[in-house]
């Protein structure tokens, strides 16, 4: 079973090969790179996609370059073939034609400024390998094929005019030369006096360096051009002759701080500077300022003018680190008469280390560094030429800065094998103290410090004060690239050489041994720790790697671009891979960005503090704090609501079938009786004898109507009631027409009343021979309901001016002499509705006067009209078939006999109704008594 | 030989009567046919009546007369009906249906006023006075008539008071939450239930008598039609 790792966020177990947690997708702790952790080989091919574009482009370019040059041996010598270092791609790319993507200064550092033609010439000798791997012994250190044209000008100026030293990039060459000298010298020392006076100028010199040199050269030349030691330096010469208004060359790749330095130097060019009097010859290709330094170092031996002791007026805008350097150099002038290019304490640490080491060893070495000048560059051969007195400040500073390397075993070889420094040159050192120590030690250019470096001599503090100054401040003023470059030198150390050096110095002074240049506690300060911890991994790797004398085999293009060989430091830069602490802190925020530049990254925008709940939310109880009384009331309310919402059981009729049967039985009986009596014309039942009071009053009124008097007949019943209404009204009208011959005027208060009235007069009373428009008049429908009746009661002629035949009604004989309602002899209301009767009574109450109203009504409306008769508002009532039968028998001699024809059926029907009602009552009573008895039994 | 109109009308009457009586077996298509025909014929007849007996003689004809004669003195009286007609017709369009409210408001207002005045003057006052005056002059009448009037009047009065008491639903709430009407009101209400029951019984008897009469009339028409067909005297 595979090894399992635990997720730092969720604690889930994941296979060791997983980089993110399978559960929470958070990066696993093991997958991240810890500070100080040794990088290990990892298969980072799957992470190839997340590499920055510029890295991928560089790798692609490197791959192409490697493939194209795979056949040549030059390709094998390419230093960029480190499978572990992603800068290998840069290295390879630097060798290509495409130099635009890499700044010149960076290319120079990494040794990528080689032209392709030179690569082919020197496939094996490559300083870049040495730089990357940090193993000096792995590479041939004495490659003589280096060409000067490849060396940057500024480094070329530092180098001796040894052929082949400038074949590689400036750093490479410089370091390689250092190694050469180390090998050649038994006592390694950093001889600053070995000024590279004859380094050929390179066409590939970075522009910004050129510009710096040009700017720096302008300053001294303007004041002391005749004393310029760098007389051979063309750019110094030009600078000295040129006015500040000379058009500067502004390289785009120049860092700002260097631009600022150059600007400072140009602003201080008005000040006289004796350091400008560099006089040693330098190749035309050599950067002027370096040439100037070299020439000056040579001239300083001969002349030592007091006025040149402060050749560089410190500018107000001079960078601090340069000021500090000048101050250190000034202080050193007082104590040290030699070491014209004394590396001050303001110089970068690695410079101090170099100088200190050389200073320490210098006492045991003979100052005859010129003997080695044929093998080593002049500028390197001049290193170490610092006397014991001069080395004192170096020892302190170097011992304080070189602790990491300073176990004697770890002492970089290139430092331990510094070339011998020339003898002390007190006079010259006083003049060029402001220059860096590694430049001060150049014996040939003791006083030839560029103006931009020596401009701060006047204001530089004393050496004693500088000793007390913390190294952090010094280092803090240094540019980052110098800081980074300082530990780089450690990778060039060769322990073997160190031991050799130690062995080669048997006569080393005990005092110096007691205070080695690189002591173990040299980096005891925090700044040194930071320096080491901030060291790139590839440099750490180079340090930790066991040194072997085996030359690394050339890196092929495939190896160089292996996708799984992502450097650890690049891997550590990946935002997705956080350390466990950060991962745990951002565990709650693992949101993956979906858009923008951070697309695809997870948890890169962590939430602020307090965003995520830090503790479990407090639980609040939902229980109400109700008293017993409140609970009781709530229960009562609940019961009330339950009672309201509870469905009430409705007892259904169990006797539905019986009702249908009963309905059929009743219907059958009525049909049979009606049919039988009608068909048989039976007269079984006698008509009523007694005359109701309302009927009697109606007959009395009817008999009181004058002869041929106008009578208003209002018809308001439905067609379904026509049989009853005609049966009730026919005897009444027959008697009236027979006796009084009234002029009848019919009016209907509903739509069908007019046609029913016409039907009544033409069929029922056909025997009386009444004719429309002569003896009767049908006014038709009176619209408007109560309003119509009210209107008719007030203005009859205006409400219905025409009859049903559309003739002027009020001009016809039936209505002659009638203009108002009270002019009628009587009002006979034939209706089956109590409402209709009430309306006519009400609306004509105050209009009709003494005109009597006789109501011939249906049996169903009579009970409702009876009160109006009792109140005197209605003169008489003829109610239904019962009233018609009485009239027919009592007052009309049995004519027309309609009531009689219906009477038997009506009597039987009423009898059946009585029977059924009574029988139904009895049945209901019996059922009720049974239910009550049953309920009593249940209760008992 | 022409078919007498009475035979046709009798036959149709017979047919539709049977269709209506088919409701005894429940709702059926025959019954529905008779109902639909009745509704349709009644609506058509009502529309014809309204046009020929209302609109034409009371609106169109006077307007035409005014236009023909040129006598516009009474035109204002016709303008109001026309305006009301226009407003009512605006109900066709939902956008202008609000205009009909003017006419409807006028009709409802006038109808309510007429009804209220008619009820007060034609029903309430006369009925109250009739109840009060029932005993008027009875004391001067002979004893037997006095007893009759007193009994009749007493029953009417009792029936009136108790019936009104029955519809009095006011009651007080007891401490236990239950409600009960005043005892005297409760007694009168109980008596009023008797009078109300008798009244409803009488009304039901009248309805039954009317329905029975109609039924008899219809059956008699059938018998007469059959006898006519059969030639039975």
Q: Domain for residue A429, yes or no?
A: yes
- Which of A688, A718, A881, A897 is the best mutation test for B, with the most CBs of B within 10 A? A881
CA distance A263 to A19: 50
- Give the chain B residue whose CA is nearest to the CA of A750: B46
For residue B30, CA distances in Å to A288, A667, A720, B15 come to 128, 18, 19, 10
Q: Is A316 an interface residue toward B (CB < 8 Å)?
A: no
Chain A residues whose beta carbon lies within 8 Å of the beta carbon of residue B223: 675, 678-679
CA distance B124 to A191: 142
My answer on whether A585 and A709 are in the same domain is no
CA angle, residues A434, A437, A441, in degrees to nearest 5:
110
- Which of B24, B27, B53 is the best mutation test for A, with the most CBs of A within 10 A? B53
Q: Do B216 and A842 touch (CB under 8 A)?
A: no
Q: Domain for residue A586, yes or no?
A: yes
Q: Is A305 an interface residue toward B (CB < 8 Å)?
A: no
Over residues A499-519, the mean pLDDT reads 45
Q: Do A843 and B114 touch (CB under 8 A)?
A: yes
Q: Domain for residue A465, yes or no?
A: yes
Q: Which of A427-431, A535-539, A811-815 has the highest mean pLDDT?
A: A811-815
Cβ–Cβ pairs < 8 A, chains A and B:
160
Nearest beta carbon to residue A861 from set B110, B123, B206: B206
Give the sign of the dihedral formed by CA A893, CA A899, CA A904, CA A907: negative
Q: What is the 3-state secondary structure (H, E, C) of chain B?
A: CCCCHHHHHHHHHHHHHHHHHHHHHCCCHHHHHHHHHHHHHHHHHHHHHHHHHHHHHHHHHHHHHHHHHCCHHHHHHHHHHHHHHHHHHHHHCHHHHHHHHHHHHHHHHHHHHHHHHHHHHHHHHHHHHHHHHHHCCHHHCCHHHHHHHHHHHHHHHHHHHHHHHHCCCCCEECCCCCEECCHHHHHHHHHHHHHHHHHHHHHHHHHHHHHHHHHHHHHHHHHHHHHHHHCCC
Q: Is A859 an interface residue toward B (CB < 8 Å)?
A: yes
**H-helix or E-strand spanning residue A60:** helix A53-68
CA atoms within 13 A on the CB side of A484: 11
SS3 A748: strand
Token pair, residue A246, equals 């000379």
My answer on whether A434 and A582 are in the same domain is no
Q: Domain for residue A518, yes or no?
A: no
Question: Which is more confidently placed, B134 or A431?
Answer: B134
**Each residue of A822-870: pLDDT tens digit?**
899 999 999 999 999 999 999 998 888 889 999 999 999 998 998 899 8
- Check pLDDT > 90 for residue B151: no
Main-chain phi, psi angles of A48, to 5 degrees? -60, -30
Length of chain A, please?
940
% of residues, chain B, pLDDT over 70: 100
Per the structure, how many domains does chain A have? 3
**Each residue of A126-154: pLDDT tens digit?**
444 444 444 444 444 444 444 444 444 55
Length of chain B, please?
233
Q: Is A872 an interface residue toward B (CB < 8 Å)?
A: yes
Question: Which is more confidently placed, A792 or A548?
Answer: A792
Q: Domain for residue A296, yes or no?
A: yes
- Check pLDDT > 80 for residue A799: yes
- Check pLDDT > 70 for residue B212: yes
Q: Domain for residue A509, yes or no?
A: no
Q: Look up residue A763 and give its DSSP letter.
A: I
Contact A246, A300 (CB under 8 A): no
- Give the chain A residue whose CA is nearest to the CA of B200: A863
Q: Is A373 an interface residue toward B (CB < 8 Å)?
A: no
Per-residue pLDDT at A797: 87
- Give the chain B residue whose CA is nearest to the CA of A858: B210
Per-residue pLDDT at A564: 58
How distant is the Cα of A722 from the closest Cα of chain B, in angstroms? 8
Main-chain phi, psi angles of A772, to 5 degrees? -70, 135
Chain B residues whose beta carbon lies within 8 Å of the beta carbon of residue A663: 24
Phi-psi region of A11 (alpha: psi -120 to 50; beta: other; left: phi over 0): left
Token pair, residue B124, equals 């309430």
Over residues A368-395, the mean pLDDT reads 45
Chain A residues whose beta carbon lies within 8 Å of the beta carbon of residue B114: 786-787, 790, 843
Q: Is A675 an interface residue toward B (CB < 8 Å)?
A: yes
- Check pLDDT > 60 for residue A708: yes
Q: Do B24 and A755 touch (CB under 8 A)?
A: no
Neighbour-count burial for A59-76, b at 16+ CB within 10 Å, e otherwise? bebbbebbeebeeeebbb
Q: Do A901 and B220 touch (CB under 8 A)?
A: yes
The terminus-to-terminus CA distance of chain A in angstroms comes to 84
Among residues A336, A348, A359, A290, the alpha carbon closest in space to that of A429 is found at A336
- Check pLDDT > 90 for residue A878: yes
Contact A678, A834 (CB under 8 A): no
Nearest beta carbon to residue B203 from set A664, A802, A860: A860
Main-chain phi, psi angles of A277, to 5 degrees? -85, 35
Q: Is A678 an interface residue toward B (CB < 8 Å)?
A: yes
Chain A residues whose beta carbon lies within 8 Å of the beta carbon of residue B137: none
CA distance A665 to A661: 6
CA distance A59 to A673: 121
How distant is the Cα of A921 from the closest Cα of chain B, in angstroms? 13
| CATH code of the domain in which A894 resides | 3.40.50.720
- Of A592, A622, A643, the one marking the end of a domain is A592
- Check pLDDT > 60 for residue A366: no
How distant is the Cα of B1 from the closest Cα of chain A, in angstroms? 24
Chain B residues whose beta carbon lies within 8 Å of the beta carbon of residue A873: 122, 126
Contact A147, A199 (CB under 8 A): no
CA distance A807 to A774: 12
Q: What is the 3-state secondary structure (H, E, C) of A358-384?
A: HHHHHCCCCCCHHHHHHCCCHHHHCCC
Contact A192, A273 (CB under 8 A): no
Q: Domain for residue A896, yes or no?
A: yes
Q: Which of A167-176, A711-720, A736-745, B208-217 has the lowest mean pLDDT?
A: A167-176
Q: Predicted confidence band at A522 (pLDDT cuts at 50, 70, 90)?
A: very low
Nearest beta carbon to residue A858 from set B114, B210, B226: B210
- Give the chain B residue whose CA is nearest to the CA of A834: B203
What residues make up the domain containing A6? 1-32+577-592
Main-chain phi, psi angles of A501, to 5 degrees? -65, -45
Chain B residues whose beta carbon lies within 8 Å of the beta carbon of residue A670: 212, 215
- Give the chain A residue whose CA is nearest to the CA of B47: A751
Q: Is A723 an interface residue toward B (CB < 8 Å)?
A: yes
CA distance A268 to A323: 13
How distant is the Cα of A661 from the closest Cα of chain B, in angstroms? 11
The owner of tokens 């010298």 is A185
């Amino acid at each position: 079973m595979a090894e399992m790792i635990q997720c730092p966020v969720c604690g889930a177990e994941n296979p060791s090969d997983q980089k993110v947690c399978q559960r929470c997708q958070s990066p696993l702790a093991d997958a991240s790179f810890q500070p100080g952790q040794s990088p290990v080989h990892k298969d980072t091919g799957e992470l190839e996609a997340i590499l920055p574009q510029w890295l991928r482009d560089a790798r692609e370019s490197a791959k192409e370059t490697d493939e194209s040059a795979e056949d040549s041996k030059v390709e094998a010598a390419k230093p960029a073939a480190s499978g572990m270092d992603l800068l290998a791609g840069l290295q390879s790319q630097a060798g290509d034609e495409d130099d635009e993507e890499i700044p010149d200064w960076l290319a120079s550092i990494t040794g990528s400024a080689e032209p392709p033609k030179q690569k082919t010439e020197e496939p094996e000798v490559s300083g870049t390998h040495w730089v990357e791997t940090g193993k000096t012994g792995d590479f041939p250190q004495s490659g003589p094929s280096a060409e000067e044209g490849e060396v940057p000008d500024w480094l070329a100026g530092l180098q001796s005019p040894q052929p082949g030293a400038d074949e590689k990039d400036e750093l490479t060459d410089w370091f390689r030369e250092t190694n050469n000298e180390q090998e050649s010298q038994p006592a390694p020392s950093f001889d600053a006096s070995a000024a590279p006076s004859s380094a050929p100028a390179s066409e590939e010199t970075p522009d910004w360096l050129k510009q710096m040199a040009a700017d720096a050269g302008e300053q001294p030349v303007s004041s002391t051009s005749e004393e310029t030691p760098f007389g051979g330096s063309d750019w110094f010469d030009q600078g000295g002759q040129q006015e500040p208004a000379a058009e500067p060359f502004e390289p785009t790749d120049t860092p700002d701080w260097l631009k600022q330095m150059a600007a400072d130097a140009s602003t201080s060019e008005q000040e006289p500077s004796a350091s400008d009097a560099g006089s040693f010859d330098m190749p035309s290709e050599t950067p002027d300022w370096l040439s100037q330094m070299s020439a000056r170092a040579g001239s300083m031996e001969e002349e030592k003018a007091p006025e040149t002791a402060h050749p560089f007026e410190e500018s107000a805008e001079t960078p601090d680190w340069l000021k500090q350097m000048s101050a250190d150099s000034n202080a050193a002038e007082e104590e040290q008469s030699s070491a014209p290019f004394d590396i001050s304490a303001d110089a970068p640490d690695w410079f101090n280390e170099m100088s200190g080491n050389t200073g320490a060893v210098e006492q045991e070495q003979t100052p005859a560094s010129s003997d080695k000048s044929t093998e080593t560059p002049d500028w390197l051969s001049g290193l170490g030429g610092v006397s014991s007195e001069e080395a004192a400040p170096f020892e302190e500073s170097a011992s304080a800065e070189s602790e990491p390397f300073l176990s004697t075993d770890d002492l970089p070889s290139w430092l331990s094998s510094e070339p011998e420094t020339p003898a002390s040159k007190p006079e010259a050192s006083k003049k060029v103290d402001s220059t860096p120590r590694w430049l001060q030690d150049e014996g040939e250019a003791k006083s030839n410090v560029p103006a931009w470096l020596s401009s701060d001599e006047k204001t530089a503090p004393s050496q004693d004060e500088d000793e007390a100054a913390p190294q952090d401040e010094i280092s803090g003023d240094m540019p980052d690239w110098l800081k980074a470059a300082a530990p780089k030198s450690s990778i060039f150390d060769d322990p073997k050489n160190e031991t050799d050096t130690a062995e080669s110095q048997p006569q080393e002074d005990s005092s110096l041994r007691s205070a080695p240049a690189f002591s173990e506690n040299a980096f005891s300060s925090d700044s040194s720790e930071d320096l080491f911890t901030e060291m790139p991994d590839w440099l750490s790797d180079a340090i930790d790697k066991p040194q072997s004398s085996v030359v690394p085999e050339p890196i092929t293009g495939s190896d160089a671009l292996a996708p799984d060989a992502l450097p650890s430091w690049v891997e550590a830069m990946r935002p997705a891979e956080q350390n466990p602490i950060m991962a745990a802190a951002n565990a709650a925020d693992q949101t993956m960005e979906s858009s923008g530049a951070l697309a695809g990254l997870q948890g890169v925008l962590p939430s602020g503090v307090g965003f995520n709940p830090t503790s479990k939310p407090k639980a609040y109880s939902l229980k109400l704090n109700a008293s017993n009384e409140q609970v009781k009331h709530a229960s009562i309310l609940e019961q009330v609501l339950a009672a309201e919402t509870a469905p009430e059981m409705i007892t259904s009729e169990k006797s539905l079938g019986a009702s249908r049967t009963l309905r059929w039985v009743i219907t059958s009986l009525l049909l049979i009786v009606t049919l039988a009596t009608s068909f048989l014309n039976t007269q079984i039942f006698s008509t009523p004898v007694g005359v109701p009071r309302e009927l009697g009053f109606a007959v009395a009124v009817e008999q009181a109507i004058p002869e041929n008097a106008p009578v208003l007949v209002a018809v308001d019943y439905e067609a379904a009631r026509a049989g009853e209404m005609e049966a009730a009204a026919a005897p009444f009208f027959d008697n009236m027409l027979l006796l009084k011959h009234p002029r009848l005027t019919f009016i209907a208060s509903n739509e069908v009343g007019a046609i029913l009235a016409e039907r009544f007069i033409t069929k029922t009373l056909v025997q009386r021979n009444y004719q429309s428009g002569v003896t009767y008049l049908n006014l038709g429908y009176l619209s408007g309901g109560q309003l119509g009746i009210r209107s008719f009661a007030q203005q009859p002629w205006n409400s219905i001016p025409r009859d049903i035949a559309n003739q002027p009604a009020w001009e016809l004989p039936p209505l002659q002499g009638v203009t108002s309602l009270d002019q009628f002899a009587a009002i006979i209301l034939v209706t089956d509705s109590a409402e209709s009767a009430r309306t006519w009574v009400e609306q004509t109450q105050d209009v009709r006067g003494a005109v009597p109203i006789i109501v011939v009504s249906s049996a169903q409306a009579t009970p409702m009209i009876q009160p109006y008769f009792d109140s005197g508002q209605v003169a008489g009532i003829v109610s239904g078939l019962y009233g018609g039968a009485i009239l027919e028998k009592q007052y009309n001699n049995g004519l027309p006999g309609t009531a009689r024809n219906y009477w038997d059926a009506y009597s039987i029907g009423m009898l059946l109704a009585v029977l059924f009602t009574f029988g139904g009552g009895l049945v209901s009573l019996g059922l009720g008594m049974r239910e009550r008895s049953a309920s009593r039994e249940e209760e008992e | 030989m022409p078919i007498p109109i009475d035979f046709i009308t009798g036959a149709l009457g017979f047919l539709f009567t049977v269709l209506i009586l088919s409701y005894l077996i429940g709702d059926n298509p025959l019954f529905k046919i008779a109902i639909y025909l009745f509704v349709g014929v009644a609506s058509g007849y009502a529309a014809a009546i309204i046009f020929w007996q209302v609109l034409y003689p009371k609106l169109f004809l006077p307007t035409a007369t005014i236009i023909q004669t040129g006598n516009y003195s009474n035109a204002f009286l016709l303008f109001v009906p026309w305006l009301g007609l226009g407003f009512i017709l605006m109900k066709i369009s939902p956008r202008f249906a609000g205009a009909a409210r003017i006419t409807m408001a006028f009709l409802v207002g006038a109808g309510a006023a007429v009804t209220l005045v008619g009820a007060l003057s034609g029903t309430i006052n006369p009925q109250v006075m009739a109840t009060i005056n029932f005993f008027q002059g009875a004391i001067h009448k002979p004893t037997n008539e006095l007893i009759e009037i007193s009994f009749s009047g007493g029953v009417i009065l009792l029936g009136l008071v108790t019936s009104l008491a029955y519809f009095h639903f006011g009651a007080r709430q007891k401490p236990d939450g239950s409600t009960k009407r005043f005892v005297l009101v409760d007694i009168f209400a109980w008596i009023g239930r008797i009078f109300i029951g008798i009244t409803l019984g009488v009304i039901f008897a009248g309805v039954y008598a009317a329905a029975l009469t109609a039924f008899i009339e219809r059956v008699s028409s059938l018998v007469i039609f059959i006898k006519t067909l059969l030639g039975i005297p």
